[in-house]
Amino acid sequence: MNGETNLDILLKNMQPVLHEDIYVFHSSNISFNEAVQFNPILIFREVEGTALIIQKETAKKHALDYTYPSKMITLNIHSSLNAIGFLAAITRKLADNNISVNSISAHYHDHLFVPEEKAKLAIKVLEEFAE
């Protein structure tokens, strides 16, 4: 299964789902093996350190510094990694509504991290955009 590439189909069928958990971004010099203990939704090695997206409660429990408390929105359409313009259109629409977004493309779906306090507005904007 390669996923959808047609932009019109992607936008009309994105099916945004808002997750309840609050996620945060953390970066430090911990190793990949150490990072796994925090059950991150993402681990990415950058020159400056190992970046994680983890649940806020996990960061607090382990006294980890964090930024960008956010909610995750999963776009439930299986988008192709070769799709052109899907995230560009979505992030532009969110920007037009003064909503910052950090997007992650995984194998099957795209995931958007939006500020916690703007999550419901983001869902409304995406649902209207799909209509």
Non-local (6+) Cβ contacts of 97 within 8 A are 121, 122, 125
The answer to whether residue 29 is domain-embedded is: yes
How is residue 129 written in tokens?
Answer: 């955009």
In this structure, what token pair is assigned to residue 49? 């350190």
In this predicted structure, which of 81-85, 101-105, 114-118 has the lowest mean pLDDT? Answer: 81-85
Q: Flag whether 2 is in a domain.
A: no
From residue 99, how far is each of 5, 92, 121, 124 by CA, in Å? 25, 10, 8, 12
pLDDT digits (tens, 9 = 90+) for 70-95: 999 999 999 999 899 999 999 999 99
Per-residue pLDDT, averaged over 92-106, amounts to: 96
Q: Quick one: pLDDT band at residue 7, thresholds 50, 70, 90?
A: confident
CATH code of residue 40: 3.30.2130.10
Note whether residue 1 is domain-resident.
no
Does the residue 30 lie in any domain?
yes
Expressed as residue numbers, the domain containing 80 is 7-130
Q: 1 falls in which pLDDT band (50, 70, 90)?
A: low
For residue 126, pLDDT beyond 90? yes
Tokens standing for residue 16? 């945004």
Percent of the chain predicted with pLDDT > 70 = 99
